[in-house]
Chain A
Amino acid sequence: MAGEVRVPINTDIDIVAARQQGRDLAARIGFAGSDLTVIATAISEVSRNIVSYATRGELLFHAVEEPTRRGIVVIARDDGPGIGNVDDALRDGFSTGNSLGLGLPGARRLMDDFEVVSTVGKGTTITMKKWIR
């Protein structure tokens, strides 16, 4: 089984690297077809969130295996300013930056599990999972 992949996120170029490496790992785990595009797109959204709001952080990907299912875990971690109100940030159309406000709520819709832990002044960790159907 594929190991853990870590991609540092500092600039917009790293967003492209993160989604390519995430897609590659997802394919090795056994995802196919539109699931690969869905995972790569969700990775793009959470990576951009780091570049836009935290300026630096990292993406971690690894396989997850349970007795009845298999999938991928994507963790986006930064030590940026944190999200003041996570519920607001997950609402469609809400943005404190210059964006459509669809990044985080969109990524949540694309993935099966989605969890945000954020502390103002400390940073944000987003953990999302997708299971092979």
Chain B
Amino acid sequence: MPVPILKQGDFLIATIQGALTDADLIELRDVLAHRIGQLRTRGVLIDVSALDVMDSFATRTLRNIAYSAKLRGAETMLVGIQPDVAFTMVQLGLTLEGIDTALDFEEGLAALSQKITRERARGR
């Protein structure tokens, strides 16, 4: 199931709709990397609230998306990690070092806007 990606202002919004195969995740990574350059995106918001499992592969791919977006000048915000998923990730030993997260879409969007405004003020 491919992940729909919408442009909203300066941001790209990727909303995961359900269980993803490894190929879906890799496609999300590649499409986002391409669109960031094409649309000169400053922020990427990925909504993972529909994911009932985040295993080591999904975590690694989402981390790679955030790190490579950063290298292309865009900030990534991951929103909606479910409580059971968060608990399981901790037990599994998975971390999202250096990646911004927020409880839900609204909070994530607000935090991402603030972060980008701050960085623009700093002259980035």
Contacts and interface: CB of A to CB of B under 8 A. Distances in A.
A109 B91 CA distance: 7
Interface residues of A, number: 28
A79 interface: no
B88 A38 contact: yes
Given A15-B22, A102-B93, A109-B93, A45 B56 contact: yes
B50 to A, nearest CB: 13
A110 B22 contact: no
B6 interface: no
B57 A48 contact: yes
A1 interface: no
B52 A102 contact: no
- Of B20, B22, B23, B88, chain A has the most CB atoms within 10 Å of the CB of B88
A20 B52 CA distance: 10
Contacts, number: 76
B21 A16 contact: yes
B60 A48 contact: no
A41 B22 contact: no
A99 B21 contact: no
Interface string B69-94: 00000000000001111011001111
B57 to A, nearest CB: 6
B19 interface: yes
B53 A13 contact: no
B55 A48 contact: yes
Interface in B37-83: 52-57, 59-60, 82-83
Given A33-B84, A100-B56, A12 B23 contact: yes
B57 A106 contact: no
Interface string A27-67: 00000011011101100110010010000000000000000
A48 B59 CA distance: 14
Contact of B56 (A16, A19, A40, A106): A106
A125 to B, nearest CB: 20
Nearest to A33: B84
A110 B85 CA distance: 12
A3 B35 CA distance: 47
9 contacts: A15-B22, A20-B19, A34-B87, A38-B88, A41-B55, A92-B93, A99-B56, A105-B93, A106-B56
